[in-house]
Amino acid sequence: MATPKPIRLTDPFITLGTDSVGPPVTTAHSFTCFSNGIHITGEADDDLATFCDPEGFAYTVSLDLKMSLGAESLDEAITALGGPGTVVPFEFAYTGDPASVDNPHWSGEVRLPAIPIVDAGINEATSFTIDMAVIGEITKDVGTTTFVVGSTAPHTHRTDTEETVAA
């Protein structure tokens, strides 16, 4: 039996948006080269709690980013996605390989926040973290099965939902 090893995040798959012929025409953007950190976290949020869902979870996708300008830049990607307040799909995996038990893919929708125009001192890169609220469910795809692993929608937070996907 193989000994499990810690995962080292070196070549992740991080996308925001989706390819669509429209209307409106949209494009998925890879955020791998703009990022040096990703965090998908959940915590109890009493503001989201209901009698049907007293836990009231809120999930957040956070990206540690390096600002860039011009063609194929972070600024261009954020602008193309619709800017602050726009809800877009996200997908994350440890690598760009297909979804499997060894490389699950997590996905859902997030609301884009405003990003800083500049946040640096002399001779420093503009680095910042954006925190994007998850809207609805987060799913985990392991290639043959997709699980709902969390939800921010009141009364639907379950961790036992399973859907079999045709191979």
Nearest CA to 108 out of 87, 78, 85, 82 is that of: 87
Q: What is the arithmetic mean of pLDDT over 69-97?
A: 91
What architecture is domain 13-164? Roll (2.30)
Query: What are phi and psi for residue 109, nearest 5 degrees?
Result: -125, 145
Q: Specify the 3-state DSSP secondary structure of 56.
A: coil
So where are the chain's domains? 13-164
Whole-model pTM: value is 0.80
Q: Give yes or no for a contact between 138 and 92, defined as CB atoms under 8 angstroms apart.
A: no
- What are 85-122's pLDDT values in tens digits? 999 999 999 999 999 999 999 999 999 999 888 888 89
Band the pLDDT of 167: cuts 50, 70, 90.
Answer: very low
- Other CB atoms closer than 10 Å to residue 4's CB: what's the count? 6
118/127 Cα distance (integer angstroms): 8
